[in-house]
Chains A and B, each alone.
Chain A
Amino acid sequence: MSRATILGLVKMNKPESLPLPVIDENAFKEEIDLKETFKSNVTLVGGQIKEIEPNSIDSEIQSLYPNKTKIVSITNKSTLGTVQISPNTDPHTLQDIDLAIVEGDLGVSENGAIWVTGEASILRALPFITNDLVILLDKTKICLHMLDAYKLIAKRDRTFGVFISGPSKTADIEQCLVVGAHGAMSLTVLLI
């Protein structure tokens, strides 16, 4: 009932139709080194980033996170996984996961964000509930800005996806930045 009321009121009260603006992307063009800018932005938002060879993924993760025992790896690029999950796993059981390793689809140079889909983490809760998070990213998959990013993810099956930029953080106590709020305490991006 309220649906009709609200839509009726909108129709009655809205202004005359204004055009949908056409976005002139030339205004945002920049000749920058996408990878280097991306790297510096990942660091700016509190993450760490390393460019490595594909065969050193496991050794790199082991040296960065030496004492992790409960590891979920959702990628065939790493063999470090110790806990298997499936779409039927109760996400609550992930509460004591030490480390999750997932693959990102796309990095955004302007803000260090990485697109991670629900499918890439099997359970949507994983990249948030894990204590620490490692995202693997193909170094050729970095775009300039968010407008480009949405073009590149346009043809996807829309279920759930998240741009992750750094580890979880808060400044709610006297504006002091504290890394590690409710989500992952640390984020490492491995560029491959």
Chain B
Amino acid sequence: MNHAKRATEFNKDEAKVNWHDKALWYVREKRDKSAHNVHGWEYLRELGSALKANVLSNLDTYLVQFEENAKKNGVHVHWAADAKEHNEIVLSIMNKHKAKKVVKSKSMLTEECHLNPHLEKHGIEVIDTDLGERIVQLAEEPPSHIVLPAIHKTKEDVDVLFQEHLGTIPSQGNPEYLVGEARKHLRNKFLNADVAITGVNFAVANTGGFVVCTNEGNADMGVHLAKVHIACMGIEKIIPREEHLGVFLRLLARSATGQPITTYSSHFNKPEEDKEMHIVIVDNGRTEQLSREDFRASLHCIRCGACMNTCPIYRRSGGHSYDYTIPGPIGSILSPGKDLKKHSSLPFASTLCGSCSNVCPVKINIHEQLYKWRQVIVKEEPQPVIKKTIMKTAGKVLANPKLFEVAGKSARFALKHAPRFMVYNKLNAWGNARDLPEVKGDSFEEWYKKRNKNNE
């Protein structure tokens, strides 16, 4: 199934789509307000971008430096070439400690590696502790947004889910009540966990430390109670020096939710006494993306989700329509690099309006990369006959002024006089669920000529 078909599914519930669209746009507006409060915001974005570009061009040096410093701090460092190796490393640490219960805070990397099913297969209980992630875990669904994992669920959905799994009483979706119940339920999990797994927002080369950001405090609740902390990171999470956190932490939360900073920005350098800290550094396709000149800037991403909140397609098609761990515009430039065939419809799920690039805190040229992926995809992947024919014909018509004039005239005539079924059918996607504009008599050229004549 391609993106358009899955988006059609999502659009069956019109009221929900409208809510989804507005809720995300509201987050985008909060981002604007918050960003405009920062003196020098655009310069801050430029710095973010230049820092990430510097990181990618010296990534091997920074990774080695990070490893060296982390080891000095008593942290165990592991390297995983792919998802399989990542999952095996995490499992082996679990087994070493005879751990049976894990609490996990948000980590898109472990989603990407499908860590949960791997651990569960080996008899380990894995609890996602971010509330949104817990909701989708109970619903047996993947997150639909990287910052707001359960944005596709209504409060009534959550109410029903909690009744079934947490034994709550019906509350018609009272958020305070539901959050309170989740707090109790998860507190119990935190208190009984053997191991805590977290992601990494930023790993600092010159100190060997790393930063994890949450609003709920779930990462810290897990880590500071469990005996073992495993932090999983993609190779691109490195930043050169600690002071650069001063750039990225100013950008991250404002771009994500419009908050000036997340509630907790936790800086981990050394494990607490009698505890263990592990870092798993993962490639899983990132070095390959690094080799693609046109697409390597996608590795700048700091996972704020701003491109999703602003995207007119994402807002109206929902995260699940992308069928990839990272949905939305950024996911649509990351995913073809992983599996071109499977994700070939994603770069087309865009109007190329450029709003994603405009809000990106590290200035990734997302819409340009979407366009570039399209060019790769039409060459390498078979395209639907209708689309191919239309494109070819359109190419000929647009290249020939005489033909263009004739085509324009016939189209205007047809839209005015042709019976409805000839205009609104499967061949015309633009007529799907919308009425085409009323046709005026003239083409622009004809109108312009007349206007000049009248003015003479």
With contacts A147-B247, A149-B246 taken as known, whether A165 is within 8 angstroms of B262 at the C-beta atoms is yes
A 14-43 binary contact with B (CB < 8 Å = 1; else 0): 111111110110011110000000000100
**Please, which residues of chain B bring their CB within 8 A of the CB of A95?**
187, 191
Contacting pair B50 A14 (CB below 8 A) = no
- Is B303 among interface residues, defined by CB-CB distance under 8 A? no
Give complex CA distance A151, B283 in Å: 32
**Please, which residues of chain A bring their CB within 8 A of the CB of B223?**
124
Question: Which chain A residue lies CB-closest to B289?
Answer: A13
Question: Which chain B residue lies CB-closest to A178?
Answer: B179
Contacting pair B224 A162 (CB below 8 A) = no
Contacting pair B148 A14 (CB below 8 A) = no
- Is B154 among interface residues, defined by CB-CB distance under 8 A? yes
Give complex CA distance A174, B243 in Å: 36
- Is B220 among interface residues, defined by CB-CB distance under 8 A? yes
From A19, A28, A151, A172, give the contact of B54 (CB < 8 A). Answer: A19
Give complex CA distance A44, B266 in Å: 20
- Is A9 among interface residues, defined by CB-CB distance under 8 A? yes
Give complex CA distance A10, B190 in Å: 38
- Is B349 among interface residues, defined by CB-CB distance under 8 A? no
Q: Shortest Cβ distance from B97 into chain A, in angstroms?
A: 17
Contacting pair B79 A172 (CB below 8 A) = no
A-contacting residues, B192-230, CB 8 Å:
207, 209, 215-218, 220-221, 223-225
Contacting pair B80 A183 (CB below 8 A) = no
**Please, which residues of chain A bring their CB within 8 A of the CB of B27?**
175
Q: Which of A51-59, A70-78, A98-106, A110-118 lies at the binding interface?
A: A110-118
Contacting pair B287 A13 (CB below 8 A) = yes
With contacts A169-B263, A173-B178, A175-B26 taken as known, whether A15 is within 8 angstroms of B57 at the C-beta atoms is yes
- Is B113 among interface residues, defined by CB-CB distance under 8 A? no
Q: Which of A60-68, A134-142, A153-161 lies at the binding interface?
A: A153-161
From B38, B130, B187, B265, give the contact of A172 (CB < 8 A). Answer: B130
With contacts A6-B79, A150-B242 taken as known, whether A128 is within 8 angstroms of B220 at the C-beta atoms is yes
From A6, A14, A92, A158, give the contact of B225 (CB < 8 A). Answer: A92
Give complex CA distance A6, B86 in Å: 13
**Please, which residues of chain B bring their CB within 8 A of the CB of A97?**
none
Give complex CA distance A8, B209 in Å: 24
- By a beta-carbon cutoff of 8 Å, the part of chain B in contact with chain A is 23, 26-27, 38-40, 43-44, 47, 50-51, 53-54, 56-60, 63-64, 73, 79-81, 85, 129-132, 135, 148-151, 153-155, 158, 173, 175-176, 178-180, 182-183, 186-187, 190-191, 207, 209, 215-218, 220-221, 223-225, 235, 240, 242-243, 245-247, 249-250, 257, 259-270, 272-273, 281, 283, 287-288, 290-291, 293, 296
What are 14 A-B pairs with beta-carbon distances under 8 A? A6-B283, A10-B59, A19-B54, A27-B39, A45-B259, A95-B187, A113-B265, A128-B217, A160-B272, A162-B220, A162-B267, A171-B148, A171-B257, A174-B153
